[in-house]
Amino acid sequence: MTDLDYLRAAIAEAQAAEANGEVPVGAVVVHENKIIGRGQNRVLRDSDPTAHAEIVALREAGLALKNYRLEDCTLYATLEPCAMCAGAILHARITRLVYGAPDPKAGACGSVLSVLNHPQLNHKLDLLPGLLAGECGALLTNFFRKRRLEKSSARILGIEGIGTEAPTREAPMTTRKPKKKWSAKVTTDSTDPDEGLFNQSASAIAKALASKKVSPKGPASGMRMLNFYINRAGKNLSASRHAELEKAKSKLSDIIATQKPKTQTAVNKTQKKTTKKLAKKTAAKLHSKKSSAQ
């Protein structure tokens, strides 16, 4: 088997980690052309901050050889090892390291730190970085893109905790966040379904969006909020929920239609106030010009 074959075995471990909700990083240890240790990220499943793929693989390899020194062994990892893993590689006396994607945030093989082959450390090893870097990097990129989309969908639908935490037996005690104030402006915050408003009945939604508390500028502003929410939630809405929201739109339209328009007297008063303000500004400018001329 070649370096590519062994690194693909590490990629298989990374894919297994992703299937279990972990960040997709995998590793294998090879001794005399045989894989003696396999590892994948297990920090969430084991509640262990040290359970990185490389550490898990090194532990299994040590048990296979019945020795904590793993001389004449090669470690294959899908991601550049961090400082913790690099230290373990040195202590294990690994002869050779092959890894795929660089880690610009925590890599300890040159990206951020240079723990391996440090001039003041007594162990040196052969290093082959960047093998199948694109494939290994794509695993991580796709994983985090998917997680961001899940978080965004959860926020839009008013569901917290989707795809963000490992399941626990009891929900931890948390401080309740202050309610967000609705805005008449159509922005992302305008669609935040505080207290699950958009999960209520059509009548309740329409009544709330027509109120001054939710829509200070009037029901028309509430209609904009409702339309924007439906567009943002999109395919994440069930058919029944979408139908209920359409009913809410219809009821809100009826409320808007029954509103009394401004009387002509009110309109005239507004126009008079505007005219007076303009006259005052013009007079002030003329007075200023006369003063400067004198």
DSSP letters along 97-148, please? EEEEE--TTT-TBTTS-B-TT-TTSS---EEE--TTHHHHHHHHHHHHHHHH
Do the beta carbons of residue 193 and residue 179 sit within 8 Å?
no
From 13, 18, 22, 54, active-site residue:
54
Angle between helices 219-233 and 133-157 (to 10 degrees): 150
- The CA-atom distances, in angstroms, between 16 and each of 53, 191, 206 are 11, 37, 47
Do the beta carbons of residue 45 and residue 38 sit within 8 Å?
no
How far is C-alpha 33 from the chain's CA centre? 40
- Work out the end-to-end distance of the chain between its first and last CA atoms, rounded to an integer number of angstroms: 98
Cα–Cα distance for residue pair 260/267, rounded to 1 Å:
13
Residue with the two structure tokens 């001039």? 119
- Burial grade of 183 (CB within 10 A; 0-12, 13-18, 19 or more): middle
Within 10 A of 87 (CB to CB), how many other CB atoms are there?
A: 15
Catalytic annotation present for 54: yes
Active site residues: 54
